Amino acid sequence: MGMVDVTQKPVVFRKAEASGRIYLSSEALEAIRNGNIKKGDPFLVGEVAAMNAAKQTHLLIPHCHQISLDTVRVGFQVARDFVEATCFVSAQARTGVEMEALVGVTMALNTVWDMVKYLEKDEGGQYPGTRITDVRVLKKEKSPV
C-alpha cells in the first residue's frame, strides 16, 4: 500500500477534463437563470470552490501525488432540468491530473447544491429530486514538454 513511486517517470504535459450534472427543480433553475439566488452567483462561487479543490486533491485522496497545477478552468451550462459542470486541469507532471479534474467538478456541483438547497427542500426538509449524476472523465491526454 502507498503512493506509486513516479521517480523514474518523465515530466510531461498532462491535461484532463471531467464533467457532471446536478438535477434541480424548475424553481431553482429559474432562480439561477435570473440571478436570484440568496447566497449569490452559484457559478462564480462554484468556480472558486472547484479551483481550490483541484489544487488540494492530494489532501483529499490519500494516494494522490501533490501536483503543481498550471491551470484549472471551470464551466457551467444550464439545461432544461439540470446544470452541467466541467473542469479542465493541466500540469507539467510525472503523473496524471484526472483525479484533480474529478475533484474539481464534484466540488463545483456540491457548491451549486449548497447555494440552492433552500429552493430544493420539500416540506420535510428532504431533497427528493436533487441529485448529482454522470460524473466522469471526458478525456485525458499527455504529451512531451
Grid cell for residue 48: 472558486
Is 70 considered catalytic here? no
CA dihedral 93, 94, 95, 96 (to 10 degrees): 40
Q: Residue 43: how many CB atoms within 10 A of its CB?
A: 20
Beta strand 12-23 with 131-144 is antiparallel
Q: Which of 41, 114, 122, 134 is catalytic?
A: 114
- Concatenate the DSSP letters of all residues of 81-121 into one string: SEEEEEEEEEEEESS--HHHHHHHHHHHHHHHHHHHHHHH-
Q: Helix (H, G, I), strand (E, B), or coil: what is residue 21?
A: strand
In contact, 85 and 75? CB cutoff 8 Å = yes
Which sequence positions are flagged as catalytic?
Answer: 114
